[in-house]
Amino acid sequence: MSLDAVIVIDKPSGWTSHDVVARLRRILGERSAGHLGTLDPMATGVLPVVLGRYTRLAQFYNHSNKSYEGEIRFGFATDTYDAEGEPTGAPQPVEVKLEEIEKLSREFLGPQLQMPPQFSAKKINGVPAYKLARKKIEAELQPRPVEIFSLEILAADAPDRVRFQAHVSSGTYIRSIAHDLGQRLGCGAHLASLRRTAVAEFAIDGASTLEAVEIAVQTGNIEPLLIHPRRVLPDLPCVTANEETVTYIRNGRSINLPEFSKAKLVKVFANQAELVCVAERIAGTLFHPKLVLSLPIPAAVR
């Protein structure tokens, strides 16, 4: 039986996002699984994973904002813009002036065009840029529109290091922010560590380690680790439908929802926890199932 759910994993350092999903498939015995937003192997933190029919909800998270905390090291840049790369020049001694970094960080706020790192998953003629970079082939990357909502410098942990928090739009590379700060200061810099604290509505306080998930499965207590369906896509209003309406939805028919005449999308539940569909308003109070997550009940078992 399919496990239709969302679970938030606290990704360990050294794992790719794909590694985490593959491990979850084995632990949960669920073949259909996918993550909502890649994290670099070095990074830790929030990795939401959609399971079963809930993988179809991924389309609503393509442009989710994200929050991070981490550390930037000044004194030299790297080819990957993070601590896993090779230095692109000789390290130089620096002493961070916190006030100067704070002032400069404010200039990074707002909508802008950001150049992705050469070591990134951006595809050039179907080939990821990082594969070209490993062959010493410089990819012709294009800047992409992003927005940095906040970039707060918290403290200087050492003469050449600062801790920060950031809230950014989808597609923003924190590695590029660190690199660009170093370029602006003329001393070079790279991302020393990174932890993602939120993706959309999914926050670190609701995340579980892979070890905790494995123990929960072994003890038959996985449900507390899953995100309650009503907490998914919280910006969409919820409605609990009666049996007749649910039957219409399961068979792809439109439904009338007078109380949601101003909503574009609505989550429809069969009960407190069974998400039947996401319905889209097509005219007035008439909604049509945009995404059905609950299959029709065969006539033989009705």
Active site residues: 40
CB 129 within 8 A of CB 116: yes
Task: Please state, as a whole number, how many other Cβ atoms lie within 10 Å of the Cβ of residue 95.
Answer: 10
Chain-centroid distance, C-alpha 177:
18
Q: How far is it, in rounded angstroms, from Cα 8 to Cα 20?
A: 11
Q: How many whole angstroms separate alpha carbon 200 and alpha carbon 107?
A: 25
DSSP letters along 261-276, please? TT-SEEEEESSSS-EE
Helix (H) or strand (E) holding 244: helix 243-250
Tally of residues, the chain: 302
